[in-house]
Structure 1
């Protein structure tokens, strides 16, 4: 069953994101994460290397998860810096491997001259994927996810003027099946984004993408990378704890509260950004698993 179909079940899904390792230590960390979590989640997404060998490493991780035979794998694809022909080859390889779930992303800004055959937007990538699907299968077999960014909406008085919502509408029109939010820390950011998307006519399910709230250094780094501020109340709690175990417990409690809030708000699933660290993510997986019985 594809990911889009899973989201129509009554129970919320829980899933994880992992990324290709860059060192032997990273390989061990990834293996531990998969060993501990694959059998406990509904699907796994694998992030995308920017070029060359990094893309091949992504495919190796995808194959590894598929070989475990437990859950669907969502393979990330980025279009900036890659021409349509190269993307066709990459997608063809993933389809040959058995992948049927894809996450279509614009990707980071590419240095150097633009590829004359290249794509510039994620909705163009969705269109290309649907075209490949029609050519290869002559029917709908792919589940295509796209990114959603709720964190910036709070600063926009008029949701209709929020560029990411307009981009989400374009991606839906191109054939996207579901959205995955980028990181956020307040349930109101999620609910306002989804409500605004519905007002724009975007009807796809939007999975809540969350990060464990146990590592203050990682959270501060994430804030720098995404521009989404981490609430001071979260950092204050973590910074007060000098004992690692107590800090982990405090962060897990805050993460649990956010998971329960987004599920109560109607999120069809929770997608956990693990950073290839299984312990904190595993605690939140358990929260989602007991949530339906608790509601």
Structure 2
């Protein structure tokens, strides 16, 4: 290894050591659909809560059955752990009055942080009657919610242009959003360029990188196509031949995510949002290297 490379690695590791205690993390979970999945979820929450995350969020699909499950999980997390629990809320499948009712129910249950999203348009569905910026405005008009919204460093799959997508994010921020959390990505440059473009257009709220530690590579490749996320060639090479070797896949996934958070940490990023897929091991290990300890 050349002396320059060795110095680069040393600088990265040193910077991470110096970040100790100066980093915020949050974790995303999804509602379980079986008893086994529920056990896995609670094991993960109990493991990760020791790291004192800034908040944990819970996703849901665009139908009220899942929304009720999300609501239940959120209340349980708050009651059982005392963590700040933030439900995802979409406006695609609910009227304004229903959304106001849901918001007030959350607020009265002590749930004061919401991740506000438009939601997926059902196949053959009409143009939405509301967008995420409208939902942010509605939430802020009901109570002083802490509101997170989504951002897309590599452009939302439905956006006409990158500029249109950026203006949509600006509208959400202008409506009162407190931070944006990005879609997961693997090309660090795309996040850094996006952050610069956000700053240039006057977005001064935090743009938190969404980090996905990858354990199932085949699923990731399929999912990335749907989300318009670029999976670099070097990742294909790294995961090659690991289809029947979950241990190696986990180690590779943790290694990639650790490198990402080190570089982003050096670029001044202080908040990280981990897509846990309801498993704690990889996210916990990565946080440990960031200096986040119980």
What TM-score comes out, normalization by structure 1 length? 0.84
Match of residue 57, structure 1, among 69, 88, 91: 69
Gaps of 5+ in 2: 1-20
RMSD, aligned CA? 2.3
SS at match of 1:16: strand
SS at match of 2:290: helix
Aligned counterparts, 1:266-277, within 5 A: 266-277=268-279
Between the aligned partners of 1:90 and 1:265, the Cα distance in structure 2 is 38
Between the aligned partners of 1:39 and 1:62, the Cα distance in structure 2 is 18
Residue in 2 aligned with 1:81? 93
Between the aligned partners of 2:118 and 2:246, the Cα distance in structure 1 is 37
Aligned counterparts, 1:154-193, within 5 A: 162-193=163-194
Residue in 1 aligned with 2:152? 149
Between the aligned partners of 1:151 and 1:288, the Cα distance in structure 2 is 25
Conservation of the 8 A alpha-carbon contact between 1:238 and 1:250: yes
Shift in Å at residue 111 of structure 1? 5.2
Question: What number of residue pairs does the alignment pair up?
Answer: 268
Identify the structure with bigger relative contact order (alpha carbons < 8 Å, sequence gap 6+). 2
Gaps of 5+ in 1: 1-9, 134-140
Between the aligned partners of 1:173 and 1:262, the Cα distance in structure 2 is 26
Point out the more displaced range, 66-75 or 81-90: 66-75
Between the aligned partners of 1:231 and 1:195, the Cα distance in structure 2 is 22
Residue in 1 aligned with 2:285? 283
Conservation of the 8 A alpha-carbon contact between 1:213 and 1:251: yes
Residue 264 (str. 1) matches residue 266 (str. 2): yes
Aligned counterparts, 1:12-91, within 5 A: 12-40=23-51, 41-91=53-103
Point out the more displaced range, 80-89 or 23-32: 23-32
Conservation of the 8 A alpha-carbon contact between 2:54 and 2:84: yes
The one-character-per-residue Cα deviations of 1:193-224 (angstroms, maximum 9, x if unpaired) are 11101100111111110100332123113213
Residue 231 (str. 1) matches residue 232 (str. 2): yes
Kindly tell me: are residues 215 and 87 of structure 1, through their superposed partners in 2, closer, same or farther at Cα, counting changes over 3 Å? same
Kindly tell me: are residues 213 and 53 of structure 1, through their superposed partners in 2, closer, same or farther at Cα, counting changes over 3 Å? closer
Residue in 2 aligned with 1:126? 136
Between the aligned partners of 1:287 and 1:47, the Cα distance in structure 2 is 27
Between the aligned partners of 1:207 and 1:30, the Cα distance in structure 2 is 23
Residue in 2 aligned with 1:138? none
Between the aligned partners of 1:89 and 1:13, the Cα distance in structure 2 is 31
